[in-house]
Amino acid sequence: MRVLIVGGTSSLAQALIPLLRGHCEVLTAGRSGCDIELNLCSHHIQIPGGIDCVVNMAAAFGGKELPATLQAMDVNVLGLMKLCHASSKANAKHFVHISSIFADLNNDSPFFGAYSLSKRHSEDVAQFCGRELRLPIAVLKPSRIYGVGEQFRKHQPFLYTIMDKAQRNEDIDFFGSNDALRNFIHAQDMAKIISAVMTMKLEGVYRCVNPDNVTYSQIAAAAISAFESKSKVRFLRDKPDIPSNGFACDETLFRLIEYFPCISSAQGMQMEATHRKLVS
C-alpha cells in the first residue's frame, strides 16, 4: 500500500509513520520537512499518482483573533476541499480525514471556538466531496491527543505542565472545587486506529475518544505515581471553578476494527516518565 500523509511533521504523523513503514510505502507532504512540499493555502495543489490512501492530518488550530480564525477556515475547510479534489484527480483509492471531537461541542460550550467550528465544517466538506467525487472517505474524530515527547506539549500544555510539576516535586494546584473531567487518547492508540481504518478501507464518520474520562485529581495522581513524586494536589476553592469537558465513548468504530484504545492515562504518563529518564 502506498500512503500519503498530509501534515507529515505533525506529532500524530510521527506516531503513525513507524507503524506503517513495516508494510506500506509512506510519503509525507507538508509546508516543510516532508517528502513533498504542499501548502493547503495555495490556490492550486496536486499530489502524486499511485496513492492508495491519503491521510489528512494538516490542521490550523485557530484562536480568538480574526487572522487565526481565517487561517483555521482556510486550512481546515478550504484546504481540505482542495486536497479531496487533488486526491480524486490523482485517482487515490481512499481518504482518511482527521477531524476532532471538538466539532461536536455545542456552540455555547466554553471550549467551542474557531478550531471547533472549522472542524465541524471540515466534516461536511469531507462527506460532500466523498459523494460528489466518489472518493471513499473516513472521518475520524479523536479527543485530545497526547503521547511521548516534547512535540505533544504544544497542543496539550495542561497535561505536560502537570507532569513537569510532578517531576520537580512541586505541588499541583487546580482552580475551584470542581474536579473537572477531561478525555485524552494516546497517539499510539490513535495510530493503530488509523492503520486499521486504512487496511479495512472504511468509510463514514466515527468518534475516537478514550472509553474513560478522567478527572483532574486522577490526572495528577497518575503523574505523581509515574514520576514517584512527593507533589501534593490542592484545589484552590476561592478561585473560579474549571468546567468539565468529557465525552461519551461511541464504540462503533472500535468494534468494527476490533481494537479499543488500551493506553490509560496512568500508562501514558509512565511512558512519558520513562522517556524523560532516558533523554536526561
- Do the Cβ atoms of 223 and 184 come closer than 8 Å? no
For the chain, percent of residues with pLDDT exceeding 90: 97
Largest distance between two CA atoms of the chain: 60
pLDDT digits (tens, 9 = 90+) for 155-198: 999 999 999 999 999 999 999 999 999 999 999 999 999 999 99
Q: How confident is the model over 80-106, as a mean pLDDT?
A: 97
Residue with cell 471556538: 113
Domain count, the chain: 1
pLDDT of residue 280: 81
Mean pLDDT of 59-86: 94
Q: Is residue 223 part of a domain?
A: no
Among the listed residues 27, 24, 25, the one whose alpha carbon sits nearest the alpha carbon of residue 13 = 27
High-pLDDT (> 70) share of the chain, %: 100
**Contact criterion met (CB below 8 Å) for 236 and 170:** no
Tell me the pLDDT tens digit for each residue of 211-243.
Answer: 999 999 999 999 999 999 999 999 999 999 999
CA distances to 168, 172, 214, 223, 264 from 229, in Å: 8, 11, 20, 8, 19
Q: Residue 107 belongs to what domain range? A: 1-142
- Give, in order, the Cα–Cα distances in Å from 268 to each of 31, 89, 106, 152, 170: 30, 40, 29, 12, 20
The DSSP bridge pattern shows strands 181-182 and 214-215 to be antiparallel
Asked if 147 and 188 touch (Cβ cutoff 8 Å), the reply is yes
Q: Model confidence at 28, in pLDDT bands (50, 70, 90)?
A: very high
| pLDDT, mean over the chain | 96
pLDDT reported for residue 274: 97
What whole-number distance in Å separates Cα of residue 217 and Cα of residue 180?
Answer: 8
Using the predicted structure, report yes or no on whether residue 62 has a pLDDT greater than 90. Answer: no
The answer to whether residues 52 and 1 touch, using CB atoms and an 8 Å cutoff, is yes
DSSP reduced 3-state for 55? strand
Query: For residue 22, is it within any domain?
Result: yes
**51, pLDDT greater than 90:** yes
Residue 119 falls inside a structural domain: yes
- Write down the pLDDT at residue 230: 97
C-alpha–C-alpha distance, residues 182 and 244, integer Å: 7
The pLDDT-based confidence of 150 (bands split at 50, 70, 90) is very high
Q: Are 259 and 196 in contact (CB under 8 A)?
A: yes
Query: Whole-angstrom Cα distance, residue 125 to residue 122?
Result: 5
Instruction: Give the pLDDT band (50/70/90) at residue 64.
Output: confident
Checking if the pLDDT of 94 tops 90, the result is yes
Give the pLDDT confidence score for residue 231 in this predicted structure. 98
Sequence-distant (6+) residues with CB within 8 A of 259 are 192, 193, 196
pLDDT of residue 266: 95
pLDDT computed for residue 63 by the predictor: 85
Residue type, 140: L
Q: Which CATH number characterizes residue 71's domain?
A: 3.40.50.720
Give yes or no for a contact between 109 and 129, defined as CB atoms under 8 angstroms apart.
Answer: no
Q: Which helix (H) or strand (E) holds 129?
A: helix 114-133
pLDDT at 57: 97
The strand pair at 25-30 and 2-6 is best described as: parallel
Which distant-in-sequence residues (6+ apart) come within 8 Å of 169 by Cβ?
A: 229, 230, 231
Instruction: State the cell numbers at 110.
Output: 466554553
**Residue 227 located in a structural domain:** no
